[in-house]
Amino acid sequence: MNLPIVKGEYRKDYNLKHLTWFKVGGNAEIFFKPVDSEDLASFLVQNKQKLPITTFGAGSNIIIRDGGIEGVTIKLGQNFSNIDFTDDGHLIVGSSCLNFSLAKFCQVNAISGFEFLVGIPGTIGGGVAMNAGAYGCEFKDILVRIEAIDFAGNFRTFTNEEIGFKYRGNNLPKDLIILKAVFKVNKGNSEDILARMNEINAARSSTQPIKERTGGSTFANPEGFKSWQLIDKAGLRGYRIGDASISELHCNFMINNGNATAKELEDLGNFVQQKVFEDSGIKLNWEIKRIGKVSSRGLTTG
């Protein structure tokens, strides 16, 4: 395989398991960390073989299947995590910045509206991509525009309206890597902001298994319903396949109890889908992304 000449680092057959919150999954055929956006653009322009491309964030809301990921897995590192102000007074944030880091920056600088981010694992890029939300707020409520690059190496900008936000998703092209997000700035009181963040953290600690190996919410909430209530009603609280289980604390969280495989987690999620549909007639849609190849040791559907 002839790889493009880059300034960043390539690693072959790279173990991704340690980068995910579930601590499961196979290896990346090629793992690439560009040093900056120009390096990333250079790689994309040179990718004449059209190697498959997968982007990887904080690994918080994802299952990497046991067979690993073909092609090139791209992870944007610390050089893509800066927080700064634009000339017109907006916040501009690198896509690999953690949601918690931005929430804390805004609290220190008395900027309100970002408190909900303290309760959302992952990165800004991932949050934009899935229109992540919690406690009555979503990314669509605070975003002005994004700066991105497509798989051909073209830099592109999309406004909030052009992104086409919807519940846990958007209408952006699939061949796109988000580089930066620009946000509205509304001044607030730093102490009030901190108090709200503390409330959110306390609520999470008491209702979610945040100290476990988990991937956040497994399923999106169907309109008019809460996924956890439907799962509980179907009698699946604590249900287990191998070392993967439904959390006793919050039914919409799956847990790796030590040695679960990606297949066990995905099979558990698919089983929950089936049983909830049989019980209530409502289909739950995955919120956790599942990517990569199934292992030759067994097939997973869904």
Do residues 171 and 250 share a domain? Answer: no
Do residues 17 and 90 share a domain? Answer: no
pLDDT by residue (tens digit) across 217-239? 999 999 999 999 999 999 999 99
Q: Which of 168, 204, 213, 290 is catalytic?
A: 168
Q: Is residue 61 part of a domain?
A: yes
Do residues 46 and 67 share a domain? Answer: yes
In the chain, the number of structural domains is: 3
φ, ψ at 26 (rounded to 5°): -90, -165
Q: Is residue 92 part of a domain?
A: yes
Q: How many Å apart are CA 59 and CA 6, to the nearest integer? A: 24
pLDDT by residue (tens digit) across 51-106? 999 999 999 999 999 999 999 999 999 999 999 999 999 999 999 999 999 999 99
Do residues 166 and 232 share a domain? Answer: no
Q: Is residue 240 part of a domain?
A: yes
Q: Which of 29, 115, 264, 287 is catalytic?
A: 287
Do residues 88 and 13 share a domain? Answer: no
Of the residues 160, 191, 222, which one is the last residue of a structural domain? 191
Do residues 13 and 26 share a domain? Answer: yes
Q: How many Å apart are CA 150 and CA 177, to the nearest integer? A: 6
Band (pLDDT 50/70/90 cuts) for residue 299 is very low
Q: Is residue 122 part of a domain?
A: yes
Band (pLDDT 50/70/90 cuts) for residue 111 is very high
Q: How far is CA 222 from CA 146, 179, 229, 279, in A?
A: 28, 30, 11, 15
Q: How many Å apart are CA 62 and CA 166, to the nearest integer? A: 20
What is the identity of the amino acid at 245?
S
Residue 111: give the domain boundaries.
81-191
Q: Which of 60, 217, 245, 247 is catalytic?
A: 217
Counting other chains too, the contacts that 264-269 makes at CB distance below 8 Å and 24 or more residues apart are 265/22, 265/24, 265/63, 265/215, 266/63, 266/65, 266/290, 266/300, 266/302, 267/241, 267/300, 268/239, 268/240, 268/241, 268/244, 269/218, 269/219, 269/302
- Among 58, 40, 42, residue whose Cα is nearest residue 96: 58
Q: Is residue 202 part of a domain?
A: no
Q: What is the dihedral of CA 180, 172, 64, 287, to 10 degrees?
A: 110
Instruction: Flag whether pLDDT at 301 surpasses 60.
Output: no
Do residues 20 and 113 share a domain? Answer: no
| 205 contacts: CB under 8 Å, gap ≥ 6 | none
Band (pLDDT 50/70/90 cuts) for residue 297 is low
Look up the CATH number of the domain holding residue 40. 3.30.43.10
Do residues 127 and 33 share a domain? Answer: no
Look up the CATH number of the domain holding residue 147. 3.30.465.10
Do residues 43 and 104 share a domain? Answer: no
Annotated catalytic residue 168: yes
- Global pTM exceeds 0.85: yes
Q: Is residue 1 part of a domain?
A: no
pLDDT by residue (tens digit) across 142-200? 999 999 999 999 999 999 999 999 999 999 999 999 999 999 999 999 999 999 999 99
pLDDT by residue (tens digit) across 236-263? 999 999 999 999 999 999 999 999 999 9
